[in-house]
Amino acid sequence: MPYKSMIETDAEVLAEREAEYIQLKHALHLAQADRQHYIEEMQSAMGKMKKTIEKLEAERNELLEQISVVDSKINQAKDQRTCEDLANLADNKDWLQQQIAQEKAKHVELDVKTRELEKNLWSLIHTAGTTQGAQEAMSKLRKKQACLEGRVVHALKTYNDALGKNMRLRSEIDTLRMERGRFDLIYRKIDLTLTKMRNEISRLTSFTTQAYDQREEAAQRIQALTDKAEKDNQQHNIEMKELVRLIDHERKLKQFMKIKAAEREEDPQLTAWRAKKEAEAEEKREQVEQTIRRYEESFDRMLVLAKTSTTDKLVDSFLFNEDRNFALFNYVSEINGEIEKLLNENEEATPFKNGVCYAAIHIQMPIKKQIDDYRNSMNNTITEKRQELENLESTNKKIEEATERIRAKLEKTKQLLQETAVMTGDLAERLNCDTYMTSDLNFPWSVLERRLAASKDPTLETVLDYLALIEERIDDLLLVRQYIATIDADAPYIAKPILMGGNLLPLSSSLPTIIPPNLNADFDESTGEGELKVPLSREELHKRVISQMKSKHTETTGKETDVDE
């Protein structure tokens, strides 16, 4: 039942791991799809922005050309000449008006003098009669009057010409004033449009730069998450393979040891050594379970701190908080840029009138207060998020340290198992367990080479084969020992029934006790030590068995001759 429950537990763990792998693979696929969709959207947005920027640049160049034409030196010189002509015409107008007024005054004086002369003339004619002198005087006066009238006509003609020219100049001045006003209006509109376009270009440039940075950062984060997922998946697969291999090895080893324990009672030293190893394994298992419990407690604390129920939600919340913090950071940066822009505009607007400046200050005070409050709240939020991130990083660091400790213990365990495998191979080599060759010359391989079909170097996977060979070698030695014991009449009774199933039926109610063979007891005649220091080869054992049998045979023949005598 424990073995079956272990298999079911392993199957459940494998199923959970497979489900987690499928879920991570699906999440990776969704992340890649989102990334592709985001890249396509950003590319389309970048194309639209580029078209808009090109259109705005063309309009800006056209407006700059119009402004350059308006601000050219030829037009400025023409305007200067027109202004000078207008000033000269205005001066000539004033001079002509003065001359006209003087001529009118002279004309009035001449009319007065003419009327006086006519009165005098009529008085003279009345007094003098029709004399020749009066007629001559009258003709002179008439000539003088005609001359003066001609002068008056000429002056009136000049005056009328000046008035007509003045009217034409006035109409030209009014036309130029209207054109100047229209030009000023167009210039202000063009300047305002140019300012708006510059602001729009700067805003689009900053937005494009920000979008590009966000795209690069998102691509880097997606690549990092993909690499991390691949590494975690590879590490998980390696750990699962290692755990499955260790579990299979432990299961085979336990099964093998159970079979051996069922066949015969183990050596006390081996039992003690095995109990010690089991205690060490149990202690290591408890340490691993304790570490796992600590990990689970750490994960539970992380879930409690994050107020989530699963690790997936914890990771999603962490990524969501990271994105939100990044968005808030960008928003704060934009707000700071707008604040600096408004402050610069306020500083530029301060040279105006005092009333306007005070009004702007009174208007900006609530805005500054709101900005300060929002900035303080954002700083507090960022501080809290940083504190939570530091707590998560410290917890993650502790988990990584515990993982490193477990990995170090696992490496030590692997090293210990590898040393055990090397010692097992050394023992098999010293016992000469791999010297049996096949009779077929086409396959001159040893037993171990035929079993493994590979190198004879001991590994964790081949240690059971080495143990099987050692067991066969020990069984052979025990058979040799029991054969010698059957030949020797002085051997104890408990050693004889081992051959050919003699130990299947117990001699008494108590369980039989197996005495481990002492190789030096029979084979080593020169030394009296109880244990072999160096294991013997097959040839040496064969020689010792032959010599021992000969010595026993000589002893028995000597005893028979003594009895006959």
Place of tokens 């005098």: 120
- Are 256 and 464 in contact by the 8 Å Cβ rule? The answer is yes
Asked if residue 449 lies in contact with residue 461, where contact means CB atoms within 8 angstroms, the answer is no
pLDDT at 265: 52
Residue 29 burial (C-beta neighbours within 10 Å; 0-12, 13-18, 19+) = exposed
First CA to last CA across the chain, in angstroms? 70
Q: Quick one: tokens of 562?
A: 């003594």
The torsion defined by the Cα of 121, 123, 124 and 129, in degrees rounded to 10, comes to: 110
Residue 348 is predicted with a pLDDT of 65
Query: What integer pLDDT is reported at residue 246 of this predicted model?
Result: 84
At residue 233, the 3 state secondary structure works out as helix
CA distance 84 to 411: 101
> What phi and psi, each to the nearest 5 degrees, are found at residue 437?
-105, 155
Q: What is the SS3 assignment for 285?
A: helix
The pLDDT value recorded for residue 491 is 53
Non-local (6+) Cβ contacts of 561 within 8 A are: none
CA distances from 470 to 290, 421, 483 (A): 37, 13, 20
Name the nearest CA neighbour of 538 among 432, 390, 402. 432
List, for the chain, all residue ranges whose pLDDT scores fall below the cut of 50: 1, 350-364, 435-443, 493-533, 559-561, 563-565
Q: Is 298 exposed, middle or buried (0-12, 13-18, 19+ CB in 10 A)?
A: middle
Tokens found for residue 359: 């009004």
Phi, psi (degrees; rounded to nearest 5) at 446: -85, 180
Place of tokens 């890249």: 39
CB within 8 Å of 140: residues ≥ 6 apart: none
User: How high is the pLDDT of residue 322?
Assistant: 77
Instruction: Tell me what pLDDT residue 384 has.
Output: 82
pLDDT at 193: 87
- Do the beta carbons of residue 552 and residue 487 sit within 8 Å? yes
What's the pLDDT score for residue 513? 46
Whole-angstrom distance, CA of residue 477 vs CA of residue 465: 18
| Cα four-point dihedral sign 206, 209, 215, 219 | negative
DSSP secondary structure, 466-533, as one string? HHHHHHHHHHHHHHHHHHHHHH-TTS-GGGGGGGGGTTSS-SSSSPP-PPPP-HHHHS--S---SS-S
pLDDT at 133: 64
pLDDT given for residue 223 in this prediction: 85
pLDDT value at residue 512: 44
Contact (Cβ atoms closer than 8 angstroms) between residue 53 and residue 201: yes
